[in-house]
Structure 1
Amino acid sequence: MSSTGKHKSAMMSAEVTPGPSTDVEKAIAEGDTNASPPSKKIKTETEDTNSYMKRTFDARRSFITVELPPIIEVKETYPELFTDKQIMMEFQRITDIDLDISLQRYCVDHKQDISDMCRRIPSAKDILTQAEMVKKEIPALEPYWDMVVSLCLIPYMMKENLCDMVIEIGEDEQVDPKGKIVPVLISKGKVFSSDEFILVVEEEIVQVFEEFTIAFASLFATYWIFNMEYPDTLLNTYNFIQKVMVNLKDGSGLPNLCREIQQKLIKLGKTRSNKEKPK
Structure 2
Amino acid sequence: MSTITAYPSKDQYDSVAKALVERHPCLKEPGSGKGWHCWVYSLKFKMGNYRQSLSAAGCPEVVVNKRKRADYKGKCVKKSKKGEIHYLPDPPEGQSAEDTEEKRKLIVTEMQKKEPDLQVVDELMISTFSQRRKEIVGGEPLISEIFNRWPALFTERQISAEFKRIVTTDLLQPFLEGLDGLVPRLLEVYKAAAMSGRKLSLKSILQCLEKDDTNQKRRTAALLGLPYYISEDPSGIIKTCDAHGEQLDVIMKGMQVGLLIGHEGVLQDTFPHEVFKVAVVVEETIILHSLQNVPEGFAMLMGIIYCFNQEYPQKMKYTFEFLQRVVMQIKPDQGSARIHGLRNKLLRYRV
TM-score after normalising by structure 2: 0.64
Q: Who is 2:89 aligned against? A: 18
Contact 2:156 2:300 in 1 (8 A): no
Q: Who is 2:294 aligned against? A: 212
- 1:206-232 alpha-carbon deviations (Å, 9 max, x no partner): 120233222111112222222222222
Identify the structure with bigger relative contact order (alpha carbons < 8 Å, sequence gap 6+): 1
Contact 1:100 1:214 in 2 (8 A): yes
Aligned partner of 1:175: which letter? Answer: L
Report the secondary structure of 2:248's partner residue: coil
- 1:117-144 alpha-carbon deviations (Å, 9 max, x no partner): 1122311122222233233xxxxxx232
Q: 1:37 aligns with which of 101, 105, 108?
A: 101
Aligned partner of 1:14: which letter? Answer: E
Q: 2:317 aligns with which of 210, 235, 239?
A: 235
Q: Who is 1:162 aligned against? A: 234
Q: Who is 1:113 aligned against? A: 185
Report the secondary structure of 1:258's partner residue: helix
Q: How does 1:1-279 map to 2 (within 5 A)?
A: 9-12=77-80, 14-16=84-86, 17-20=88-91, 25=96, 37=101, 40-43=104-107, 44=110, 46=117, 48=119, 49-119=121-191, 120=193, 121-135=199-213, 142-172=214-244, 173-176=246-249, 179-189=253-263, 190-208=271-289, 209-249=291-331, 253-268=334-349, 271-272=350-351
Aligned partner of 2:162: which letter? Answer: E
How much does 1:157 deviate? Answer: 2.4
> Judging changes above 3 Å, is the alpha-carbon distance between structure 1 residues 165 and 89 closer, same or farther for their aligned structure 2 residues?
farther
C-alpha separation in 2, matches of 1:8 and 1:88: 28
Aligned partner of 1:151: which letter? Answer: L
Q: Who is 2:64 aligned against? A: none
> Judging changes above 3 Å, is the alpha-carbon distance between structure 1 residues 18 and 99 closer, same or farther for their aligned structure 2 residues?
same
Contact 2:234 2:315 in 1 (8 A): no
> Judging changes above 3 Å, is the alpha-carbon distance between structure 1 residues 191 and 94 closer, same or farther for their aligned structure 2 residues?
farther
Report the secondary structure of 2:136's partner residue: helix
- 1:181-214 alpha-carbon deviations (Å, 9 max, x no partner): 4211111224442221121111222120233222
Aligned partner of 2:128: which letter? Answer: T
Contact 1:242 1:248 in 2 (8 A): yes
Aligned pair count reads: 250
C-alpha separation in 1, matches of 2:138 and 2:100: 17
Flag the structure with larger Rg: 2
Indicate the percent of aligned positions where both proteins have the same amino acid.
23
Report the secondary structure of 2:141's partner residue: coil
C-alpha separation in 2, matches of 1:182 and 1:129: 30
> Judging changes above 3 Å, is the alpha-carbon distance between structure 1 residues 66 and 122 closer, same or farther for their aligned structure 2 residues?
same
How much does 1:18 deviate? Answer: 2.5
C-alpha separation in 2, matches of 1:166 and 1:56: 33
> Judging changes above 3 Å, is the alpha-carbon distance between structure 1 residues 62 and 191 closer, same or farther for their aligned structure 2 residues?
farther
